Structure 1
């Protein structure tokens, strides 16, 4: 409850928390908008593959033009401005940078940047959930050994769920289920970049005018992004993914504690302690009035008669038995809240969520019958979607993780709905992401 006070102290001392941000897309732009309004934070450098694109993003979020014209990091630090560059590694290596924000969304780039930052003694805030799910527990272990923080991004749903779970557990409650909401129908799994705008009710022209990336938006729609986020939560909290993927049950906030309780007590959960995503629409497409499409939740247990009586006395939302209760937050602010992670890492030495175990994985599943010779086009593409399953099952199948399912040629046919294995689409063992992933599997398989 004192991050703001600590930031004010750093501002008064004339030594703000200096940040290097890699990637100036939507999430990163939202953070940058608020960073200029946050005492004690200084975004000293922004690295992007396209400096003109970064300039356009800063103009769009109302940064004054002179604020990002610093000719180098020395000038940026001297004047309080920001240096734009294509050289992420130069920013990472500078000893004056305290926190590195990885906002690229590219798994390979995310792993490379995070490892470099840790090697240079920087805290890492990993906005790139795709990279985190591919090898986050290994990065967290390396960061701890180096005496720095590796953290999820506050404002994104995984970190908010982790906060909710931690708060309940710190209060002595058992968490039964936790996750987020989304709009889901089973047919969304087959969506491709060519069909995605129809599901959103947009024309291609409207989407193009809005600068929307069809593959990225398709990842949100086809279930992949939900799977990635639930795997990240599982790895950070110890909650378990369902054995054969998320069920996406339709549920409004009033239904959470009734639906997300164990199946032998009338709910849908195989057991207590699971991650799950709830749909904002019924299977017939009807919108649920009190839906949680943009929010997060946790269901927890009142294990004694006294606790359950307190729930009743204070109007806590429960199932009919009064035993299971729910907390939720109806929306999240995405990058607008990311400064919380930066401040927590630099000033408290604590992550806002961090994968410490490898419990959940996201594996590639064929959207249609795939043939020998086809090349996979990755997350949100036309070939595969990502299913969240237990890491133990992924290991047993030698499944291809969604984070590696890009640019790989199939050597065997794969049936529609089948999990793609490394034998079906062998990744290059010499590539950095594959080597890092293999290292994590070896270390955490025990």
Structure 2
């Protein structure tokens, strides 16, 4: 897309941004980028720790004289129009005159309430909290459509970037076989020294000379060899499956497998792997979402948790021409991989906000609960166990995430509705947590999920 029209907009309109969950990780990257963006102003930020807001804004270089702590609506009314409102109450963010509410707390209850409040006040909503969208996406997209405002996922995180790639391919009439992303961290092997590192920050390098025999791809047997050699590093990551859940619900693609395949491979191999089994790949069916582990040498660029699609190459002569340009093709010439090897977090997000605020682009009223992120007990769990979401990947101890097609999910409870829930009965290893295993009836988010689940 050419953004020149947005950049040169002469209407005088300004995106006035309020960020909830503002000071760490994603929120920090967005705060750092906003001052450089045309037609955009930071109006409000919210955190339970307002001291952190002041500290981070000063660190980035915002004008300290414009920062105003507001604890009531009256405080906001007294603040100057160009003030940066800092508050610990997310409800107050919607009273500051913002046009764009960015939600990045990762707290399903808070972000759902904040999104609904903003939409009903005709404020556009830019959802970073993927946990919330996995549970309430269909409902929130429909609500935004009803109220004539934007509700959307953001560029800078993998789901929106991948959905943009999918929509581009569909516009061109390309036949998408598989859509997916690399997992967050790389498998790095130094061919000169034989040293291997899984760079998640929790592992030390080890010597692994046996990787040499599996370095060059020679079919699915190579994948099996890599899996066996690196078995202790393989895991199912909640964040990965949650992101594919979001893509599934908007694109209509179904999970390739409930735990994702996670082949350990290089970008140059993707067009030979995420294709039907009858053509030498790993897929039982097409029109699916999936995830891989990026394998690279020490001096090769990372895939950076980026996104890809595999398309069917229909015109043989055309694809031979494109293969000559160096594009990633399958060995049989029938498939091509197209990819974005990046997601730049909040650095990219202002583009999403301007597309929404100035052009009304972003809402997906077609979003439906195509798949459900469930949690399967990986140990025997006793009645009375409290389930808590925690950690960088927003995991739940004792559960392995599992992405199920809605049609076959039965009464599985959505993973991110389980935070704080207490098991009413024992759950044996291998069984999913069901809506009957926990009491969700008092949760407003559960009621919203049920409304979205039945949408046709």
Q: Per the shorter chain, which TM-score range?
A: 0.7 to 0.9
Classify the secondary structure of the residue corresponding to 2:336: strand
TM-score normalised to structure 1 length: 0.84
User: What residue in structure 1 maps to residue 259 of structure 2?
Assistant: 245
1:142-173 deviation per Cα after TM superposition (whole angstroms, max 9, x unaligned):
10111111110111011110111111111111
CA separation of 1:184 and 1:427: change in aligned 2, threshold 3 A: farther
Whether contact under 8 Å (1:153, 1:159) holds in the other structure is: yes
Q: Tell me how far 1:377 sits from its aligned partner.
A: 1.4
Q: Tell me how far 1:59 sits from its aligned partner.
A: 3.0
1:75-118 deviation per Cα after TM superposition (whole angstroms, max 9, x unaligned):
6663x331111232232245x32111111111111111111111
User: What residue in structure 2 maps to residue 350 of structure 1?
Assistant: 361
Whether contact under 8 Å (1:344, 1:351) holds in the other structure is: yes
User: What residue in structure 2 maps to residue 207 of structure 1?
Assistant: none
Matched, 1:441 2:453: yes
User: Could you tell me how far apart the structure 1 residues matched to 2:53 and 2:203 are?
Assistant: 26
Classify the secondary structure of the residue corresponding to 1:280: strand
Matched, 1:264 2:262: no
From the two aligned structures, give the one with the greater strand fraction. 2
CA separation of 1:287 and 1:434: change in aligned 2, threshold 3 A: farther
CA separation of 1:350 and 1:41: change in aligned 2, threshold 3 A: same
User: What residue in structure 2 maps to residue 211 of structure 1?
Assistant: none
Whether contact under 8 Å (1:184, 1:221) holds in the other structure is: no
Match of 1:371 among 382, 393, 396: 382
User: Could you tell me how far apart the structure 2 residues matched to 1:430 and 1:225 are?
Assistant: 26
1:326-370 deviation per Cα after TM superposition (whole angstroms, max 9, x unaligned):
111222111111101100101111118776122121101223221
Moved over 6 A (4+): 352-355
TM-score normalised to structure 2 length: 0.82
User: Could you tell me how far apart the structure 2 residues matched to 1:37 and 1:230 are?
Assistant: 31
CA separation of 1:152 and 1:323: change in aligned 2, threshold 3 A: same
CA separation of 1:350 and 1:60: change in aligned 2, threshold 3 A: same
Whether contact under 8 Å (2:265, 2:292) holds in the other structure is: yes
User: Could you tell me how far apart the structure 2 residues matched to 1:127 and 1:65 are?
Assistant: 27
- Segments of 5+ residues of structure 1 without an aligned counterpart are 186-196, 204-219
User: What residue in structure 2 maps to residue 420 of structure 1?
Assistant: 433
Q: Tell me how far 1:120 sits from its aligned partner.
A: 0.7
Match of 2:309 among 298, 312, 317: 298
Whether contact under 8 Å (2:15, 2:41) holds in the other structure is: yes
Match of 2:347 among 322, 328, 336: 336
Q: CA RMSD in A?
A: 2.7
Matched, 1:385 2:400: yes
Bigger radius of gyration:
2
Matched, 1:309 2:320: yes
User: Could you tell me how far apart the structure 2 residues matched to 1:287 and 1:129 are?
Assistant: 31
